């Protein structure tokens, strides 16, 4: 099992999609941002622009799925309008949302807790352990270069990262809420701070 490097990063779940609003499981299905999601991405960019002094962003790395990539592009535009460099969004396939297989498009159900516990994997889907390994590897790639990255990604991915940070995994991350992830030190838990 790969360990998460003890390096800080910004994490941003993509803005809202229609399937988010309907409580449906998206997974790898490439659902675009809705109008609310576009506005959420703009607001996230504004929030991040107010915190660049304390936690400057060196680059933006995103899932290639459209809802995350578009969120990252909007945030990059807003940051540039507020004095940050004009970041070119880097894509990493390892940041794609978990594949929920046969559960994609269906309402989120009771199976989710069993999936996180490793007792259930949807047909043609990805296990939570597989997702955790992939998520940690992707974040480690993003944090290896100098400076702090902004990672724009997905809710399921963040649950896997919470598990890797030694935190309770099944906590829902709201759409487009910037999250500062700070390691506390050797053997100590990570600290997560949401900004709004």
- The answer on whether 13 is annotated among ligand-binding residues is yes
- The answer on whether 18 is annotated among ligand-binding residues is yes
- The answer on whether 3 is annotated among ligand-binding residues is no
- The answer on whether 20 is annotated among ligand-binding residues is yes
Taking a C-beta distance cutoff of 8 angstroms, is the pair 91, 64 a contact?
Answer: yes
State the Cα–Cα distance between residues 74 and 106, nearest whole angstrom.
Answer: 28
- The answer on whether 24 is annotated among ligand-binding residues is no
- The answer on whether 14 is annotated among ligand-binding residues is yes
State the Cα–Cα distance between residues 118 and 4, nearest whole angstrom.
Answer: 20
- The answer on whether 34 is annotated among ligand-binding residues is no
- The answer on whether 16 is annotated among ligand-binding residues is yes
State the Cα–Cα distance between residues 81 and 84, nearest whole angstrom.
Answer: 7
The residues that are catalytic are 14, 97
Rg (CA), the chain: 16
State the Cα–Cα distance between residues 40 and 34, nearest whole angstrom.
Answer: 10
Taking a C-beta distance cutoff of 8 angstroms, is the pair 9, 139 a contact?
Answer: yes
Which residues make up each annotated binding site? 13-20, 67
Which residues make up each annotated binding site for substrate? 13-20, 67
């Amino acid at each position: 099992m790969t360990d998460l490097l003890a390096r800080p990063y910004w994490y941003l779940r993509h803005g809202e999609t229609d399937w988010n609003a309907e409580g449906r499981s998206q997974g790898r299905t490439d659902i675009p941002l809705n109008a609310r999601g576009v506005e959420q991405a703009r607001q996230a960019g504004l929030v991040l622009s107010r915190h660049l002094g304390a936690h400057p962003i060196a680059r933006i790395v995103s899932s290639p799925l459209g809802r995350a990539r578009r969120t990252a592009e909007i945030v990059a535009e807003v940051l540039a309008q507020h004095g940050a460099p004009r970041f070119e969004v880097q894509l990493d396939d390892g940041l794609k949302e978990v594949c929920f297989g046969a559960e994609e498009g269906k309402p989120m159900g009771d199976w989710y807790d069993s999936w996180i516990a490793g007792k259930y994997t949807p047909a043609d889907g990805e296990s939570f352990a597989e997702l955790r390994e992939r998520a940690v590897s992707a974040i480690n790639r993003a944090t290896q270069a100098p400076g702090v990255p902004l990672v724009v990604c997905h809710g399921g991915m963040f649950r896997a990262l919470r598990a890797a940070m030694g935190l309770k995994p099944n906590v829902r991350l709201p759409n487009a809420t910037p999250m500062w992830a700070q390691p506390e030190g050797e053997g100590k838990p990570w600290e997560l701070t949401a900004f709004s």
